[in-house]
Homo-oligomer: A and B are copies of this chain.
Amino acid sequence: MSLDLRADPVDLTAALVDVFSVSGSEAELATLVREALEKQAPHLEVIRNGDAVLARTNLGRPSRVVLAGHLDTVPENGNLPSRREGTGADEILHGLGTVDMKSGDAVFLHLAATLSSPRHDITFVFYDNEEVEAVKNGLGRIERELPEWLAGDLAIVGEPSNGVIEAGCQGTMRVELRTTGKRAHTARAWMGENAIHALAEPMRRLAEYAPRVVDIDGLTYREGLQATKIGGGVAGNVVPDSAVLTVNFRFAPDRTPETAERHVREVFDGYELSVVDMSPGALPGLSAPAAAELVAAAGGHAAAKLGWTDVARFAALGMPAVNFGPGNPTLAHTKQENVRTAEIRQVTEVLRKFLS
């Protein structure tokens, strides 16, 4: 079997979907991608790192764009092999990875083989283990082992974004709020102090919290402060002496981790908080020249990215970085994963226009 990179990127998406590549099992797909790039894109320097494949032009252009997509998928859920439905503008491609994110990979691979003289130098990064724990993430490994392969003036991560440029991403932190009390038998409750009752006030603040809606570079970010877990209790007849509320704060990228933490501590002033998890956001960076050109090629429209994606890794390297890929992100990780094939072609054309 081999991949035809020069054919229709929709056909290429279907071919990629039909090569099983759940996280940890990307070897076969990585081999096929490397072979196809070596044969069909001889103008590129190609290397393999683990189950990632890296390729780049070395044309001496004044700027470099990095196109990054992960090769792995979440586990199969009765949604393989791929199948098509409908025709023309209504055609739909169904199957695991059609959205997250083999359609984005197909766009990048097609451009790799068909753009031999782009306006910017291009680095292609097809990596492994994005859908599992962050420590396994192939992009993190490349950052440690081959950092020069991630350098550039703009990063485009092909995660599904409905074919709209999504810029920046929100940060996320998790805190645990712990209340303490004093155990007693519930028949003599006045001798104790109920730690669950002590959560009533922080839960009131949480329920009444009005999240910010923030405008940055013309993009709108909606923050959120949400309880994700609550727990406490000793026995059916005991006043509990400990309870824990876990809260997830999704914050707009105008906050740093430090100011985000300060804000949460203000909201829950008077309570014992510990930060258990923190990932910074990424500013959209759309004023950088290459980013502004890309937005223009896409018709001038861009939106705020709300979730946390690998865009933030590039932002942390000081590069403007955006998500841009076919598919509706709310279908990612669902059994029903599917993409309009017209969207795959549209994203291909926007990127071709930007890079040509």
Contact = CB atoms under 8 A, between A and B. Distances in A.
A292 interface: no
A197 B208 CA distance: 9
A232 B230 contact: yes
Given A200-B204, A203-B203, A204-B200, A190 B236 contact: no
Contacts of A198: 207
Nearest to A245: B196
A213 to B, nearest CB: 10
Contacts of A354: none
A161 interface: no
A308 B238 CA distance: 13
B236 A174 contact: yes
A235 B190 CA distance: 35
Given A207-B200, A227-B197, A186 B248 contact: yes
A170 interface: yes
A166 to B, nearest CB: 12
A172 B198 CA distance: 23
Nearest to A249: B186
A277 interface: yes
A226 B307 contact: no
Q: Which of A186, A194, A307 has the most chain B CB atoms inside 10 A of its CB?
A: A186
B237 A190 contact: no
A239 B228 contact: yes
A206 interface: yes
A232 B245 CA distance: 10
A336 to B, nearest CB: 16
Interface of A: 170, 172, 174, 185-190, 194, 196-201, 203-204, 206-207, 211, 222, 224, 226-240, 243, 245-246, 248, 250, 277, 306-308, 330
10 contacts: A187-B306, A197-B207, A200-B207, A204-B204, A228-B235, A228-B237, A228-B238, A230-B233, A231-B233, A236-B277
